[in-house]
Amino acid sequence: MDSLVQHVGAVRPIINRTSGQTHGSITRLMSPGDLGGLLKPFVFLDLFDNQGRAFSGFGLHPHSGIATLTWLAEGSVGYEDTTGARGVLPAGGTEWMQAGSGVWHGGGAGKPGRARGFQLWIALPPHLELGPPVSLYQGVDDVPVAGAARVLLGSHEGARSAIEAPSDINYLAVRLAAGERWRYAPPSGHDVLWIAVGKGAVVAPDRIGQGELAIFAPGGGAVEFLAETDAEFMLGSAVPHPHDLVLGYYSVHTSADALVRGERRIDEIRAELVRQGRLGRWNGMG
- Read off the pLDDT band of 9 (50, 70, 90): very low
Cis preceding-peptide flag for 205 (omega within 30 of 0) = yes
101 domain residue, yes or no: yes
If one counts the domains in the chain, the total is 1
User: Domain containing 143: what range?
Assistant: 2-241
Bridge-based pairing state of the strands 94-98 and 149-153:
unpaired
Helix residue spans in 46-185 (DSSP H): none
Q: Identify which has the larger pLDDT, 5 or 249.
A: 249
263 domain residue, yes or no: no
279 domain residue, yes or no: no
Instruction: Say what the pTM is.
Output: 0.91
Q: Residue 34 and residue 39: Cα distance in Å, rounded?
A: 9
191 domain residue, yes or no: yes
pLDDT tens for 66-106 read 999 999 999 888 888 898 888 888 899 999 999 999 999 88
Contact predicate 214/207, CB 8 Å = no
179 has pLDDT over 90: yes
CATH number for the domain spanning 128: value is 2.60.120.10
What's the rounded mean pLDDT across residues 16-42?
95
Q: Any idea which of 82-86, 109-113, 131-135 has the lowest mean pLDDT? A: 109-113
276 domain residue, yes or no: no
250 domain residue, yes or no: no
Q: Identify which has the larger pLDDT, 66 or 25.
A: 66
210 domain residue, yes or no: yes
pLDDT of residue 109: 66
6 has pLDDT over 50: no
Contact predicate 213/20, CB 8 Å = yes
CA angle 131, 133, 135 (to 5 degrees): 145
255 domain residue, yes or no: no
